[in-house]
A = this chain, B = another copy of it.
Amino acid sequence: MSASRMGSVIAAGGRTSAAVTQDLQKDVAKSTPKPMLDLKPPRATRDFYPEDMALRTWLFNHWRDTAALHGFEEYDAPVLESEELFIRKAGEDVSQQLYNLEDRSGRRLSLRPEMTPSLARMVLAKRNGLALPLKWFSIPQCWRYERATRGRRREHYQWNLDVWGVDGLQVEAELLSAAITFMKAVGLTSAEVGVKISTRAVLAELLPRLGVPPERFASTCVLVDKLDKLPEDQIVEALTEAGMTAENSKTLLEALDIRSFDALQELMGADSPAVQELETLFDLAKAYGYEDWLVLDLSVVRGLAYYTGVVFEGFDRSGELRAIFGGGRYNKLLSTFGGDDLPAAGFGFGDAVIVELLKNHALLPSLSASPAQIVVFPMQEELRSTAVQVASSLRAAGSRVDLTLEPKKTKWLFKHADRLEASHVVIIGTSEFEQGNVRIKRLSDGEQQDVPIAELTKWALALNEAPKK
């Protein structure tokens, strides 16, 4: 009796449950009513009812299509990883924000808060077997435990695009092309969304001049990214501790306010590699035709110590929403994990802010949760086997068929077909059946025709090949 073997085996094909491990003598069915279960999903997480799922699928399809247009291959990794993986990238303190667990062998595991560490692990694991450059994307769900509630969730989906193995601004330009192509595809323009551009190279040139030693560089970048969160005296104190005089601190704060190439050249000099880097990227943007989306903004540092070059961040021009997407170049990540470095750049694009933005601009699509195109309806249960044959022939022709599964009145049928946004109903009635026919009603205009059962496949093929209105 092979059936029983699968009970406790997750990899088996069917529904499984640990019920089989319970005491065989103990009865599951109790006669006393059970108290009601908490019906909400865990705090700050989401259920996707079909109408929510339809929106998610629409978004993911746009992400996948855009990635494909840019020649990116999809990958994935376990949502559960070793905690060490995340600590190695982000430091011990990240543990406070992880959903952590310890398995029965004492391993510390975490739900991923981001995808990049898993990606780096996968690249390292097959380093010599992978043909460079890698152009990979994924749409992972990421989890982070936060105390803050303000309507923010603890999980989100994030479109990740990364290029590994090429160090050059054509990579950043291609990544930005993907992000912007997606936004155009969903109806956004550069009037609604901008992309702030900077490079760590500006700080890399500037900070040594201002007295910050190389080993303080990464932490000073993190500090710069937090400036607007801290009171003035703490900023000055922290910058002083980083090695800056009061005057140099002022120069730095002024530099971060720069928004034009003229001011940038004045500060850095025309020969500055940082300036040239940004100019090259803006020139490439012109070739792509998305230069009107870009904004030079030196205050963009992004709160990650691991960025090494260009950093960018999509923003809502109305100023209402948080960052829409963000990323940049991170050429030194693999050495954090003990490997040899490989140039890399990428971005993450979450599913929360973009949906808010589309809502604000009335760009959310009207979607039907139901795939049904044709409802097949037997007038009597005696005609069920005919209805089954009809449904099967329509499906064989590629039609998406909702077969009515229980005796219902025709009044229900049309309400039901309307809810499903079906285009046709196929009614199996006794008098038509006796002629070998079914009655087909087109719902857009109520036009009816009787079609011989034997010709239904032909009818459905013609329907599916007709141009969509």
Please judge, given known A-B contacts A19-B303, A71-B403, whether A38 and B354 are in contact too, CB under 8 Å.
Answer: no
Contact present for A338 and B31 (CB under 8 Å): no
8 A Cβ contacts from A308-364 to B: 313-315, 319, 322-327, 332, 335-339, 346-350, 352-354
Copies of the polypeptide in the assembly: 2
* CB of A426 to closest CB in B, whole Å: 13
> Which residue of the partner chain B has the closest CB to A357?
B13
Binds B, one of A164-172, A202-210, A244-252: A164-172
8 A Cβ contacts from A71-97 to B: 71-82, 84-86, 88-94, 96-97
Contact present for B302 and A14 (CB under 8 Å): yes
CA distance A399 to B326 in the complex (A): 26
Please judge, given known A-B contacts A18-B94, A326-B14, whether A31 and B238 are in contact too, CB under 8 Å.
Answer: no
The count of chain A contact residues (Cβ–Cβ below 8 Å) is 199
Q: Is A458 an interface residue (CB 8 A)?
A: no
CA distance A348 to B9 in the complex (A): 13
Interchain CB contact (< 8 A) of A84 among B13, B37, B313: B37
CA distance A80 to B53 in the complex (A): 17
Q: Is A263 an interface residue (CB 8 A)?
A: no
Contact present for A91 and B314 (CB under 8 Å): no
Contact present for A78 and B46 (CB under 8 Å): yes
| Most central of A107, A228, A384 by chain B CB within 10 Å | A384
Contact present for A226 and B352 (CB under 8 Å): no
Q: Is A215 an interface residue (CB 8 A)?
A: yes
Contact present for B101 and A99 (CB under 8 Å): yes
Contact present for A156 and B14 (CB under 8 Å): no
| Most central of A18, A29, A107, A405 by chain B CB within 10 Å | A18
Contact present for A56 and B73 (CB under 8 Å): no
Contact present for A419 and B370 (CB under 8 Å): no
Q: Is A135 an interface residue (CB 8 A)?
A: yes
Q: Is A191 an interface residue (CB 8 A)?
A: no
Q: Is A264 an interface residue (CB 8 A)?
A: no
Q: Which residues from B are CB-within-8-Å of A168?
A: 405-406
* CB of A346 to closest CB in B, whole Å: 8
Q: Is A143 an interface residue (CB 8 A)?
A: yes
Interchain CB contact (< 8 A) of A229 among B4, B143, B146, B284: B4
* CB of A74 to closest CB in B, whole Å: 5
> Which residue of the partner chain B has the closest CB to A321?
B13
8 A Cβ contacts from A277-300 to B: 283-284, 286-289, 299-300
CA distance A388 to B352 in the complex (A): 31
Q: Is A43 an interface residue (CB 8 A)?
A: yes
Please judge, given known A-B contacts A10-B142, A384-B284, whether A33 and B99 are in contact too, CB under 8 Å.
Answer: no
